[in-house]
Structure 1
Amino acid sequence: MATPLENGFSAPALRLHALDSEDLALLSAHVQDALVRVGDIAYLPAKRRFALVGSRFDWTAEMEGRLERCRAGLHFESVQRVRCARVSRDEPDAILELLAVTFEAGPEPPGGVIRLTFAGGAAICLDVECVEAQLCDIGPRWKTAARPTHELSSSESGAP
């Protein structure tokens, strides 16, 4: 399904599934620099699901000379526990910039920890039974004025 843009370009809706750390690395590349409103993050313990909605920067379009963002949903299954650092649920309109999604295997494979690392040292860690994630474009696509940039600092650990 292609999403039309004001300038006549269209792009297929992205749909990715991650079932291991290599898949998750590819998914992470597509959500790098996504803007996520804190109020659009949810943990559903009864369903063991963690989900968020954000505005992802389309790095594929950027390679073709277009600067675009689109609404995308990202969710993780088999989540046993969620830990947050520097993410305040008291500020639902605060915007986080997602830098990376990584997986660290635990002592009992296939379980481990999925870490969502945000600019400014914020992080969310998901204790999972296994890697099971899905990223889907779910909304409009629009032109943006600038390519995302950010400074990385080794002093921002963000370890929950």
Structure 2
Amino acid sequence: MTDARFEDAREAPLNLGAFEDEDLSVISALVQDAVFPVTEMRWDRSARRFALLLNRFRWEDGPARAAAPERVQSVLVFEGVTGVASSGINRADTDVVLSLLTVTFAPSDAPAGDVTLTLAGDGAIRLSVEALETTLKDVTKPYMAPSKKTPDHPD
């Protein structure tokens, strides 16, 4: 069996799950540079679910996408969430748009641990979870990125 390549990708919506740190690193790469209004985060305490509605850049299209950069709306969901904390985020300012940089998992009392969503501008969201259980699902058709540019991270 060989590794997957960008050239093998299908033009289909993503629907991925992560139950291990290695799986989460794939999802983290796919949601890098996703943007979302502060109003599009929800924690359902009784269902122990935290969700974000993201406008994510379609990194899976690889270098060919540079000529026509696309975004797609996706839902990123974390199950078994027992606590949520954030820093550097003003939830009262409903006009704020956040940019997601990475998603990581740090086990504490296995299988429990903390998921950290690191945001641009020194913001972060920490989710205490019973175990790592995450899904990323595209919910709209891709659309041309409003900036018409591929996100860039200069050294």
Q: Does 1:19 align with 2:19?
A: yes
Aligned residues: 142
Mark the CA change 1:81 to 1:90 in structure 2 (over 3 Å): closer, same or farther: same
Q: Does 1:132 align with 2:153?
A: no
Q: Percent identity?
A: 37
Instruction: Provide structure 2 residue ranges, at least 5 long, that are not aligned to the other structure.
Output: 1-9
CA offset digits 1:88-143 (Å, max 9, x no partner): 1101221111000000010x101000000000000000000100000000013111
Does the residue aligned with 1:97 lie in a helix, a strand or coil?
strand
TM-score, structure 2 as length reference: 0.87
Query: Which of 100, 103, 108 is the matching residue for 1:101?
Result: 103
Structure number with the higher strand fraction is 1
Structure number with the higher helix fraction is 2
TM-score, structure 1 as length reference: 0.84
| Alpha-carbon separation, structure 1, partners of 2:39 and 2:62 | 28
| Alpha-carbon separation, structure 1, partners of 2:89 and 2:45 | 18
Query: Which of 64, 68, 71 is the matching residue for 1:69?
Result: 71
Q: Deviation above 3 Å: which 4+ runs of structure 1?
A: none
Deviation of 1:59 (Å): 0.7
